[in-house]
Structure 1
């Protein structure tokens, strides 16, 4: 049995992994796959991939591409969720800020530098036509729990996070949502350390086959909406809306999509230069078949 560790955010997108792990679906392939939650998000997972404390990650597309361009010894083997991530722009409930325009020149609370909350703050600022030097500043809060604690204290002015994950805190009156910023590309990919890809690619193919079979059928699982709502403390109608907007994938990114992300990162000065697509994507010679 080969021990492998995969990381991801403790959010509803990753319930398919929980289901396969609960069923020990990887054991017949000789794989003891263990899950590690990363509430700190993409920046924390990039660090874990670099230091080898995890072998794989379900990670934000823009974050891992930026980190691979900076030397992360990993590659993307597949898109996990092909639909955009819908980032909510949140402020403390008692904040004076009433609109996105009010946030110009204030501090974005972020989990860490290189995280999705950091990179998407740049994307959002550019979309709003802000001066990236003068109108954008940051406050480190580590994760969602940190933002819930710090924003009401006036530490950081707004916080960008997946809007359905934060919806219970909006409903309870801790946060207000003043806007949204969907990613202009597929939101989650599966990244794997190059060492594993070079030495045991057959294990990665086996893992993908199992998780892809699950995601392909995921929306048809009886009462899956209720399971999600209960597990992630969500209203049933919110989960049903989220399910209708979310698409899992069994394919890898295209070269055009990689170029789109890199062009945006380069434009925002978040990478120094573009790198070749084959340094970002890895071809496992694997194709998922639903039959």
Structure 2
């Protein structure tokens, strides 16, 4: 069997991968697929791709595009989730801040430099007309680190996926003051240049397997109950999330990449735009 090492966040978006692993879909196609969770998200996965710790990452679009600009020897090989990611903007439950506008001159908690939580803090600031040069960040690692930072007031707000943090909002740990959706498809499948060069047929087979699963994912019997139980979510929240989430089986388009690069350029997070072939590779 050919081995492929995949990384992703431990969130409900990635249940199709776990079902493929648990049900033997990859093994049936003679693929030895292993999965590694990255609770701290995009920045950690970018580092893992660079360090040859994983071959493939299920990763936030803006994060992988920026890191390819910064020298990550990887390419996007397919869009995974085509719907936007809804980022909740959270403060501590006992925070004195009650509105998004009040957070302008405060510090954002981020999982690590280059993470989605940092990049979307820039997007949010741009949307609000804030001075991007004055943004401040506190590196906290994981969601648990953000909980502590907001509680101790070393940071005042934190952006993370709306439904993943919903249980913390329900328990009175966080208070959500606003949402900030991405203006592009939220998750990509990215692979290192090395595995693209050495295992193109295996990558194609892997995509065929996961695409078959995501195509029928919403029709799986009791999928709402399965998701709610596995990810500690309320049934009504999972139903809402499923309604607004759409998986993809298609390539990342030039038009979508143009939108991401224009935004990153506008935010001064990249110096120039790269060609489509420098960021996307069809397998």
Q: How does 1:125-274 map to 2 (within 5 A)?
A: 125-134=125-134, 136-274=135-273
State the Cα distance separating 1:138 from its structure 2 match.
0.5
Instruction: Name the structure 2 match of 1:88.
Output: 88
Partner deviation per Cα, 1:125-153 (whole Å, 9 max, x = no partner): 0000001112x111111111111122111
Q: Secondary structure at the match of 1:113?
A: coil
Deviations along 1:49-101, one digit per CA (max 9) or x if unpaired, are 00110000000000000001111111001000000000000000000000000
Q: Is the contact between residue 78 and residue 282 of structure 2 (CA under 8 Å) also seen in structure 1? A: no
Q: Report whether the alignment pairs 1:76 with 2:91.
A: no
Quote the residue 1:38 is aligned against: 38
Following the alignment from structure 2 to structure 1, what is the Cα–Cα distance between the partners of residues 33 and 79? 19
- TM-score, normalised to structure 2, is 0.99
Cα shift at 1:25: 1.3
The reply on whether 1:25 has 2:18 as its aligned counterpart is: no
Could you say which residue in structure 2 is the equivalent of 1:110?
Answer: 110
SS in structure 2 of the partner of residue 165 of structure 1: coil
Post-superposition offset of 1:29: 2.4
- Equivalent residue pairs, number: 283
Report how far residue 30 of structure 1 moved: 2.1
What's the TM-score, normalizing by structure 1? 0.96
Pairwise CA RMSD: 0.7
Runs of 4+ in 1 over 2 A off after TM superposition: none
1:148-190 residue CA offsets vs partner (Å, 9 max, x unmatched): 1221111210000001000000000000000000000000000
Cα distance in 2 between the residues matched to 1:4 and 1:149: 36
Long gaps (5+) in structure 1: 285-291
Q: 3-state SS of the aligned residue for 2:238?
A: helix
User: 3-state DSSP class of the match of 2:178?
Assistant: strand
Residues in 2 aligned to 1:145 and 1:7: alpha-carbon distance in whole angstroms:
20
| Separation in structure 1 between the aligned mates of residue 133 and residue 26 of structure 2, nearest angstrom | 48
In the alignment, structure 2 segments of 5+ residues that lack a partner are none
| CA displacement, residues 227-277 of structure 1 (integer Å, 9 cap, x when unaligned) | 000000000000000000000000011101111101111111111211111
Output the CA distance in 1 between the equivalents of 2:100 and 2:31. 47
Inter-partner Cα distance in structure 1 for 2:111 and 2:281: 28
In 2: Cα distance, 1:195 partner to 1:158 partner: 38
